[in-house]
Structure 1
Amino acid sequence: MRQTKPLPSAAQRWAEQFTEPVVAVRDTSHDWHRSRVWELTGEGGARRYVKVSPSVKFFTRETRAYRSVVPALGHSRAPRLLDSRADGLALLLTVAPGAPAPGLDLTSTQWRAVHAQAGMLCARLHEAGALDARDRAEAAASLVAAADGAEKYLGRAGDRLTADEQQLVRDYAQLRRVGPVPLGYIHGDNQPRNWLWSEAGLALVDFERTRPAARVQDLVILTATEWLGHPDRERAFLQTYGRDLTSAERQGLRCLTALDAVNCLAWGPDNGHPDITARGRRTLERLMREDRP
């Protein structure tokens, strides 16, 4: 069972400078020891979130995203940043409408609608303004940076991969051979746990990994999970995304899913996440059955 994390008293006092006095606090963190998010309810019933970032890098990314990128999603499509506190890595956020899609008993038709709206919102995010020179350089280097992590994750995974599987990952790590791909701002953790669904539609949350990158990197988790066995969801997403993927993006996505697999097998067992481990194992077994790069 996940242990409830108490909201630091300093963070509550800071939040109450911008909201009414807090009468209830609920831990809403993800099931990860570095995730720290609380829902605050004021005496008048207003709700807000306080998030304490796990690192300076994530804090910097998320505050920048809320100020410069997230507004492109549109009204009620994401929380709004009310204030941030650098010395405590804390963000004070409004509450976006909806509940995480995985916890809802959605029909196949509803899931297609969710993915259709996700495609629309991802397109808005990916196209949220022109990249400046520094961001474009970071985005252009993102695939190579992903490839450079292969050996690190192979070392951490150790004998969880066979020699043939290790070679497969190394073969797929040749992302330098992938041609030019569209660049933009990506969510960075684009999956249904960060999608809130309601009658008002879809909203996105959790922008700590938002950064300039190859846009196709936002589709890796979906390819390895949600779209596996559900091609109708992928079609719904891409239809509202506004275009099909280029051949270079398709090639890059295949390579990125292999790197995601070894990352899952390195991280999942060490952090007690059998679902993440299973995702990595499933992807590797599928790639081993298919044609090599």
Structure 2
Amino acid sequence: MSDKKTLPTVLRGWVEGEIGAVEHIRDTASPRGNARGWEVVRADRCRFFLKVSPHPVAYERETFALRHAAPALGGGRAPQLRASSAHHLALLTTGVHGRPVPEIPLTPAEEYETHRQGGLLLARLHAAGELTGHRRLEAEQELYTTAEDAGRLLDQAGGRLTATEHGLVRRLAEHLRLAGPLQLGFIHGDAQPKNLLWSQQAAWVGFGRARFAPVVQDFVRMACGVWDGRPDLRTAFFRGYGRELTPQEGVALKCLAALDAVTALTRGDTHGDTHNDLHVSARGRRTLDRLTAGVFA
């Protein structure tokens, strides 16, 4: 194994000081991610997950999420924080029963129920935490900041977009500056099927991008991905969530989808050497095609 995949001795010592002797270690980090991660298993077969965040902001976000928001999902519906170390930027969590939705065969009824429960759990998460002070200010400013980044994204995309598509994205970014009022809450930040586990009940994992923001941002990845061509799953999700999008959120979702598409095309084409990279690029292209044809919903 490479040094990046091997659990450093100092981290192993910290983990064993928290949970006891570790018998088995398995690297779990994504090949494209900046975070490092391992599954650690004790002799009693109890599983834990160790994650080393790529930078202090990600560590602080995930620590806050696991301490103050994720517990609102209920037992077994999110990891529980066992220990954290600001010095190592490390978080040690309990394991969650289940496997990522894309990795398991599901019947249509199970797919529907997975998305219904996923929506239910995100509604609980969005209502968690105390939105006050600087957190409220940051949440209120987030869409404006996102719109400000559109020019840089389009410059990076270059010829991957047609002139018509460049113009469309710029117009939608301008609309995003004016969007509102929008419901604010504590969002997951990376709500997509790979972070949704299923085993008779749903659970969310992967809180490294969690923060207070307009809740509509938690619907972008699914609207651009798994819900494309599957309106039944979208219906299931919002049935669990407890409400549909407001008209303002519908506009904001379309604008955010355009920016997500540009990011996906650029990221996928820049790497372009794995099946996942090709999938990311294809997602961006489909989203732009839907927006151009006026059929994005």
Divergent runs of 4+, >4 A: none
- The aligned amino acid for 2:133 is A
Pair 1:285–1:3, CA change in 2 (3 A):
farther
Q: 262, 275, 278: which is aligned to 1:274?
A: 278
SS of 2:169's equivalent? Answer: helix
Hey, what does 2:189 align to over in structure 1?
Answer: 188
Q: Report what 1:173 is aligned to.
A: 173
Counterpart of 1:55 in structure 2 is 55
Cα distance 1:28–1:147, how it changes in 2: closer, same or farther (>3 A)?
same
Mapping for residues 211-250 of structure 1, pairs under 5 Å: 211-250=211-250
Q: How many angstroms does 1:10 deviate by?
A: 1.4
* Distance apart, 1:129 and its partner CA: 3.5
Q: Which letter maps to 2:285?
A: R
Cα distance in 2 for residues equivalent to 1:56 and 1:158: 32
Q: Secondary structure at the match of 1:249?
A: helix
**Structure 2 counterpart of 1:77, which letter?**
R
Deviation at 1:125, TM superposition (A): 0.4
User: Shift of residue 11 of structure 1?
Assistant: 1.1
Shift of 1:31: 3.2
Distance 2:83 2:56 in 1: 16
Give the conservation status (yes or no) of the 8 Å contact 1:238–1:244.
Answer: yes
- For 1:285, the equivalent position in structure 2 comes to 289
User: 1:207-231 CA distances to partner (integer Å, 9 max, x unpaired)?
Assistant: 1100010000000001001111111
Q: What fraction of aligned residue pairs are identical, expressed as a percent?
A: 44
Where in structure 2 are the equivalents of 1:4-153 lying within 5 Å?
5-153=5-153
Alpha-carbon contact 2:79-2:94 (below 8 Å) kept: yes
Q: How far, CA to CA, are the matches of 1:168 and 1:32 in structure 2?
A: 30
Give the whole-Å Cα distance in 1 for the aligned partners of 2:31 and 2:250: 32
Whether the 8 Å contact between 1:26 and 1:38 is mirrored in structure 2 is: yes
Letter in 2 for 1:195: L
The normalised TM-score by structure 1 is 0.95
Cα distance in 2, alignment partners of residues 146 and 122 from structure 1 = 22
Measured after TM superposition, the shift of residue 20 of structure 1 is 2.2
Give the 3-state SS of the residue equivalent to 1:18 in structure 2: helix
Q: TM-score, normalised by structure 2?
A: 0.94
- Map Cα deviations across residues 103-133 of structure 1 (whole Å, 9 max, x no partner): 0001221111000000100000001144112
Q: Give the AA of the match of 2:293.
A: R
C-alpha distance in structure 2 between counterparts of 1:168 and 1:181, whole Å: 22
Find the aligned partners of 1:101 and 1:35 in 2 and give their Cα distance.
Answer: 21
Maintained 8 Å contact 2:268/2:281: yes
SS across alignment from 2:44? coil
Q: 1:278 to 1:4 in 2, by over 3 A?
A: farther
**Matched residue SS, 1:17:** helix
The residue type paired with residue 221 of structure 2 is I
RMSD: 1.7
- Where structure 2 has 5 or more consecutive residues not aligned to the other structure, the ranges are none
CA contact (8 A) 1:4 1:27 kept: no
Equivalent residues of 1:154, 1:266 under 8 A apart: no
**CA contact under 8 A between 1:50 and 1:90: conserved in structure 2?**
yes
SS at match of 1:262: helix
Q: Say which SS state the counterpart of residue 122 (structure 1) adopts.
A: helix
Q: Deviations over 1:217-247 (max 9, x none)?
A: 0000010011111111111111111111100
Tell me how far 1:171 sits from its aligned partner: 0.7
SS of equivalent to 1:5: coil
The AA in structure 1 aligned to 2:90 is A
Partners of 2:134 and 2:91 in 1: how far apart? 25
The AA in structure 2 aligned to 1:263 is T
- Asked if the contact 1:79–1:93 (Cα under 8 Å) also holds between the matched residues in 2, the reply is yes
Give how far 1:33 is off: 4.1
Offset, 1:95: 0.3
Q: Give the direction of change, closer, same or farther, for the CA distance of 1:3–1:105 in structure 2 (3 Å limit).
A: farther
How far is 1:142 from its partner?
1.3
Residue by residue over 1:54-75, the C-alpha shift from the partner in whole angstroms, topping out at 9 and shown as x without a partner, is: 1111001000111111111111
Counterpart in 2 of 1:161? 161
